[in-house]
Every structure is written in structure tokens, then in C-alpha cells.
Amino acid sequence: MHATPTLPRRSLLHTPLILLATLGLCAAAAAAEPPAFPNRPVHIVVPVAAGGSADKLTRALAEKLTALWGQPVVVDNVPGASGNIGAAKVARAAPDGYTLLQQGEGLTLNNILFTELPYDANKAFAPVIKAVVNPQILVVNPNSGLNTFADYLARAKAQPDTLTLGLPGNGGIAHVAHEILSQETGAKVRYIPYSGGAPAALDVLAGHTQATLITLAAVTEHVRSGKLRALAVTTSYRSPALPQVPTMAEAGVPGFSVESWQGYFVPAGTPAAVVARLNHDIDAALHSPELRSKLEDMGFKVAGGSAADLAASLQQERPRYSRAIRTAGISLR
């Protein structure tokens, strides 16, 4: 018979210590590993009133992300001060990816327009993704007597400041786009600012104002139903959602083009891995056939791309908008 091999006494004494040390290292590694993102509700701040194009976009995206993440994605409307109240709320939020800001070229515009901001526009946010691009569309009440874009320009030139134009935000892209149009054509109107696209559109529908220049997606259904008359879009291309509506370049202002966009940002200092995850998942959601079709039917054109692409857009558009704002003498406090 052979004796059963035995471990040396020293080995027996150290075996539990080795196991404990190994278990301790594994526990420490597990504790150091950050929890999967997201593991709790995510909030997206929309800095305009509910019901407008930005709100519609973000609610459609939030529904898709909720299904993807298995976590609620909550849309918080925080209107006021041309988007600055909502932006300031996000700037103060923890840089952990659980609070996002929906914004467009308004970040650039506000940095030019306001002498003081409740946040540092150049440092407060990290770009995540450019979600969509879209035209602004000039619509009028059907009883306004304005049937074409040429009619609108003619009246605005012959009777300056008599046409009332609702703006979905003082100093917003619609305001600046119309100022560029005024500077190129001499058309002058009286601006009526609102806290977002929905109230601006409602007053045109009710006949309280004659026209609004607004993101196309905010009024697509009203144009299709005949409740609003669309005169022209600001982009160099027609929108597939309303292909019968001419561009301003086609309708009397050669070369005119202003394209607006909407994107998402997080507070500066958010970990790069979290920004990358947000970029990847939002891009995937936007390009999913169901959501893409829904957004295109509204009048959006899905963009996507990297965070760096969004940062580049902010830089590229600043000189043109800055010139238009200075020429018009627009200044907000």
C-alpha cells in the first residue's frame, strides 16, 4: 500500500491565508469596478415649453432609450430666458451622465447675445451627439391674405413692422435666421417672442399673430391639415416631410440657407466612457428604423456622428451668426 501524500505543515497553515488574500483582492477589484451605466433614471432637460419640436424629438428618443436601457428616461421641460434656465440647471448637475441637456445652436447664440450667463458657455458642457438637422419654416394663418413667400416679402417691405411674427424664443435661431433674411431683402416685421415653438404656433393658429418662423417638425401636421399655410423653408433643400413647400432660395432669395439642429450635452467632467456610451446608444436609437422613420415624418433629418462632430458645428456657425446679431443690434441681458 502507498501512503496518501500529505502537504507540508507550512503549506497547510498558509493555504487559508492565500485563499483569504485572493478573495480580498477579488472583492477590492469588484468594489473598484464602476456599476454599469445606466443603473437608475436618466433625465433630459429640454429648455423650452412642452409641445414644440425639441420636446417632440426628445420624448420620442426617451421612449426608445427607456426600452434599450431598462431604466426610465425622464424629459424635464425647463423653459425661460432663451434656454438659459434649463442650461444652468444642467451645468450645476453632477457630471455622471444621468442629466443631459437638449440644445441646438442656441448655445452659440446665447454666448453671443447675453452679456452675462449663469454658466460658462465655453466650459460648462461636454458635447455628446448632434441628433438631427432641420429647416425653419415660415408659416402663416390662412386668413392672413399671404399666399406665397413673395406676398410676405412684398408686404414686409411695403409696410414695415406691420406683420407680426411669433418667435419660439427671443434671440433663438428663428430670430437670427429672420434677421439674416431682413438684412438680405429689406423685409421688416414686428417680432413677438414666446417661450417655445408650441405657444408661438398656437397664436398663429388662433389668429393672434400672422406668422411664425419655426422648426418644421413643430407644425408639420398643422400644415398637412391646412390649419397653417407654409410659405418657404430656410434650408437649401426641400423637406421630404413637406416636399411641396419651396426653399427661400427658390422663392425669391437666391443663395439663402439656414439649417438648424438639435443635439445633446452633459455637464463638463462627465467620464469619457460614459459620454462614449451615451453617444453610441443615442446614435443607435436615432438610426433604428422605427425612430428614424418617425422623426423623418415629423420633418427632422437624422444626423448622428461623434461628439467631436458636434463640437465642430458649434465652432463653424459662430462667425455668421455673430455678424447677423451685431448688424441687427440684438442684445439680451
More confident residue, 132 or 11: 132
Distance of CA 72 to the CA centre of its chain: 20
Query: To the nearest whole percent, how much of the chain has pLDDT over 90?
Result: 79
Can the peptide bond before residue 243 be classed as cis, meaning omega within 30 degrees of 0? no
pTM across the whole model: 0.83
| Mean predicted lDDT score pLDDT of the chain | 90
The predicted-structure confidence for 268-300, as pLDDT tens digits, reads as follows: 999 999 999 999 999 999 999 999 999 999 999
Residue 322 scores a pLDDT above 70: yes
pLDDT digits (tens, 9 = 90+) for 110-167: 999 998 999 998 899 999 999 999 999 999 999 999 999 999 999 999 999 999 999 9
Radius of gyration of the chain (CA): 26
E strand or H helix at 66:
helix 53-69
- Count Cα neighbours of 88 within 13 Å in the Cβ-side half-sphere: 13
DSSP bridge partners of 166: 192, 212
Specify whether the backbone of 185 is left (phi greater than 0), alpha (psi in -120 to 50) or beta: alpha
209 Cβ neighbours under 8 A, 6+ residues apart? 141, 164, 165, 166, 192, 200, 203
Strands (DSSP E) found in the chain: 42-46, 73-77, 99-104, 125-140, 164-167, 190-193, 211-215, 229-233, 259-267, 301-302
